[in-house]
Structure 1
Amino acid sequence: MSAANLGGDGGDGFPEFNDGNVIIIIAAGYQFKLHLDHLKRSAERFRKLFAEGAASANQSEAVYGKLSRITAVDEAPAAPPPRKKAKKADATHYLVLQGVDERDLDTNCGVLVPTNKDAIIQNPMIAGNLNAKIEQRYIRLWRNVLGALYHADMTLDQTDLATLIKDSVGMVSIARYLGCLPVVSYRIEHALISQGDTLWKSILNNPVAWMDLAWRVGARDIFKECLIHLAGIFHRLTADEKRSIPYEVFSKVEEKAQLLERYKASVDFRLASWISPDLKPGPIPPGGKVGQDHGRTAYADQIYMWIAQHLFDHFLKFAFQNGDNRGAPDGGFHFYQTIYRGGDAYLKKSDQDRFHQGDCPMTPKAQRVLFNAIADLKIQAKEVVRPLFTNAAKIDREKEKLLHFTCVPVTDEELEWLHIMKGIKKGKSRGEGEGEEEESDESEHAVA
């Protein structure tokens, strides 16, 4: 059996170290040769297995003089044969993976069973006989998890989103069984984040599925990205999608969605009461008197801007009346985006022409002055809705042309909440009762 089939370097290093003293057989022909002390330090399962003496070393056969022998009463004792030199004890420990259910690989990762060299020689298929395709996937997942204990890079199948999530869930299942989730969760998240835009686009397209994975793994950055997107699209999630969000996380998603609604309500109030800064002559100084800046001439000089303000208010009035703001099916996104874009997105020249052709005819020159006043006002109004278009997510809003808001902040304290809820905090995990210990960042066996 050789680890070469696992894609090792062919030299001394993970997955087969020359000085390794624990052989872990995942499938027929596939093994890891690792270090007892390092495994015990890194994962609770190995501490338990070896502490109980379950994975005992292969013992040498006893010398002839210690064997029980039965001789006939009337027979003279035979002369003892020459004493055999005792073989040196094999200090290697053997573990074999068994109990794998092909129907449920993601939650049933199998169990490691102590064995010995003779049993392996007598039964090369001791690790079972999995479907070849499933076997290769399972070997890869176990390699990734055990490799994480040696700081080795993970190999992810990026065929599609479903496969990527499925593999990550499988690795979490293995890590939970071994009791090394803090080490592996960090590695899984790091491997996923290294995909860059591919990951962020996948989360954008399916934040519900990714939230489930982020919760399982305890992945801070992925959790944050999912939470931001789910808050932005909460109004259009179906009942089934809401049920798919982990129960422990749903209240946090709902809380962020409500925060976004308060942001939009605040913007609505500011829009309804907003007056262009150009129309405000400034306050009267304390103890002062109303001066020329507050007289008829000053206001008369701003007549075109006042007309522009009137048209803007009409636009808002009809939008609110039609329910285009936060109560709209799209959460008001199109309405707020229209104001944010400005320009010809609304109150364009054709709209103004209808205004002049109807109630308020103007000379061509007056129309041009009003047109410029409206253009200035739209630039100013953009600032009122700008907070809704700040981006707290990793995804590029403009490039991906998002149709929801990503402005809801997620604080470091809330990410700590994730780790506390999962029992993972600064390298520690309760691991569903496994009592995992801190990850050791430095190891004599770490892969460079």
Structure 2
Amino acid sequence: MMTDSDEDVQIILSHDHRYKFHRSVLVRNSTFFASLLTNKSAAPLSPKALKAGVKIKWIIALTKVPDFDVDSHGTLELLQLNGMGEPLDNFSGMILNENGRIPTPAFKYYENIFYALYNSSTKLISDASLDQALTDACHILDICEYLGCIPVISKPIDVALAKRGQDLYVCIQSKPWAWVALAYRIKSELIFKEAIVHLAGDWRKMKGNAEVKASLATVPSNVRCVIEQHHKILVSRGKKLEFALSSLYPGDMATPSMDFPIKREEYSKDILVWMALAFFRHWFGQKIISEKGALAPDSGFELYGQIGRAGEAYMDKTVLNQFHKKFPMTKKAMNVLENHLLEIKECMKGIVDRHAVLKSNCLLDTHRFPVDYLTCAIVDRGDLPWVAGKDGDGEEGEKGRNGDGRRLGGNEIVKRNLEAQRKLAAAGTVRGRDEFEEDEEDEAEGMEDVLKVISPEKGRGKRARFE
């Protein structure tokens, strides 16, 4: 941002941190400065001052240094000036005694924000470590909320964090409730979507946590609604999968012969297949009744994972031996039944794969950093609280155009930025809804028929057991 006007505002953070800026730049990008730097508050410079080349009409001083454990932004005050543009009380800035103490980063935060108002390429947050970057981002956002200029610095912070890659995604997975609040403050689509995937998948464990409640209370209630909505979708998908698994008749079990009506002798030839299927359903039914499926704390992640791996992941030799004790048969029959059960497991694995409940839709590499809940939630732009119809920001504003297709001018952009900041400040007072009570009603209504009956091919001498 370039300007040829005089630097008419001086900001004093301390005796050795003084800056000169342009009122026009500060007012355009900050609601705080827009309310403070008015023509009425300008110093009435005398002819002597004008002749001497005095340009400063406003002096703003930091009268209280931020204590990030208590006060997140400090206090800036407009000083009263005399006709020469000098403070009436001869204030020259605070002198801090930092001997033996870690220097406060507040001055650097303020300086970076001021330079960001000029579109400077100065780094807003540290590149040293992710923890330090997060600390910097949170403190800078607190100061920007005070100054009313979050729209100016949100994108640089978002980009700086996104560059962290898997380190960032691991951190989001560890505390998604904190990250979703940060994402809302800077309107980060990437971070918001990533946090929602983890919150929706692990919502049953998280929703009663006091820290989670406190964090979500700092954002509008529609953020919590998005989490609850996607969690309910995961539960519904789990129930549909369970319905499909419990209704599947693999291969040509339902049509052992093409001569209708089918005689009982034809069905009796497949007795071991039916026993294997009954054994699987016995095991699966016990898991569902024990609430290891969609109603489990992990929304069925462990159960679906076992079925999705097939083979010896479940119903291994130990379980099979218990079955054979209850239903004794010859060694050959036992081997045949176990082979049929393995084939049935492969069919069930295919059902799990088709329902894609184990598919990960998060950016976190879940192979390197495994999680114990579903991450298949699909979060799109329509779920972002700040898009059209959610938080008042229309699509035209995002595209940089007016309703008539004309590109926005400078004053219009400024008005939109200031309005967005005012809305953001107002949203900070909105509290989340009461704890979500999940509706556990049956989701079977409207499900498609999942009975899979495969007819044998015509002219085939020997029909396949399972396909």
Report the equivalent of 2:364: 395
The 5 A counterparts of 1:215-294 are 215-237=184-206, 238-247=208-217, 248=221, 249-277=223-251, 279=253, 281=255, 290-291=258-259
Question: Which of 341, 352, 362 matches 1:374?
Answer: 341
Are 1:145 and 1:184, in contact at CA under 8 Å, matched by a contact in 2?
yes
- Distance of 2:42 and 2:325 partners within structure 1: 92
Report the equivalent of 1:129: 96
Secondary structure, aligned partner of 2:194: helix
**Do the aligned partners of residues 113 and 377 (structure 1) sit closer, same or farther apart at CA in structure 2, a change above 3 Å counting?**
same
Are 1:55 and 1:94, in contact at CA under 8 Å, matched by a contact in 2?
no
**Do the aligned partners of residues 88 and 401 (structure 1) sit closer, same or farther apart at CA in structure 2, a change above 3 Å counting?**
closer
> In terms of Rg, which structure is larger?
1
Report the equivalent of 1:173: 142
Is 1:61 the counterpart of 2:34 in the alignment?
no
TM-score (norm 2): 0.69
Is 1:320 the counterpart of 2:288 in the alignment?
yes
| Residue identity matched to 1:339 | I
| Residue identity matched to 1:264 | G
Secondary structure, aligned partner of 2:164: coil
Report the equivalent of 1:409: 378
| Residue identity matched to 2:344 | L
**Do the aligned partners of residues 103 and 301 (structure 1) sit closer, same or farther apart at CA in structure 2, a change above 3 Å counting?**
same
- Distance of 1:307 and 1:57 partners within structure 2: 97
**Do the aligned partners of residues 129 and 58 (structure 1) sit closer, same or farther apart at CA in structure 2, a change above 3 Å counting?**
farther
**Do the aligned partners of residues 353 and 181 (structure 1) sit closer, same or farther apart at CA in structure 2, a change above 3 Å counting?**
same
- Distance of 1:281 and 1:89 partners within structure 2: 98
Secondary structure, aligned partner of 1:40: helix
1:169-192: CA deviations, max 9, x gaps?
Answer: 322222223222222222222222
Count matched residues: 392
TM-score (norm 1): 0.72
Moved more, 389-398 or 147-156: 147-156
Question: Which of 13, 16, 24 matches 1:37?
Answer: 24
**Do the aligned partners of residues 89 and 212 (structure 1) sit closer, same or farther apart at CA in structure 2, a change above 3 Å counting?**
closer
Shift of 1:48: 3.6
Is 1:339 the counterpart of 2:307 in the alignment?
yes
For structure 1, which runs of at least 5 residues remain unmatched after alignment? 1-12, 64-85, 283-288, 437-448
Moved more, 93-102 or 407-416: 93-102
- Distance of 2:115 and 2:266 partners within structure 1: 76
Is 1:98 the counterpart of 2:67 in the alignment?
no
Report the equivalent of 2:439: none
| Residue identity matched to 2:319 | D
- Distance of 2:389 and 2:75 partners within structure 1: 28
- Distance of 1:344 and 1:162 partners within structure 2: 42
1:148-205: CA deviations, max 9, x gaps?
Answer: 3315253434777775544333222222232222222222222222221111111111
- Distance of 1:57 and 1:200 partners within structure 2: 54
Question: Which of 95, 104, 114 matches 1:146?
Answer: 114
Question: Which of 198, 201, 207 matches 2:167?
Answer: 198
**Do the aligned partners of residues 329 and 414 (structure 1) sit closer, same or farther apart at CA in structure 2, a change above 3 Å counting?**
closer
Question: Which of 111, 133, 142 matches 2:76?
Answer: 111
- Distance of 1:62 and 1:330 partners within structure 2: 72
**Do the aligned partners of residues 186 and 109 (structure 1) sit closer, same or farther apart at CA in structure 2, a change above 3 Å counting?**
farther
- Distance of 2:351 and 2:198 partners within structure 1: 22
Shift of 1:434: 9.3
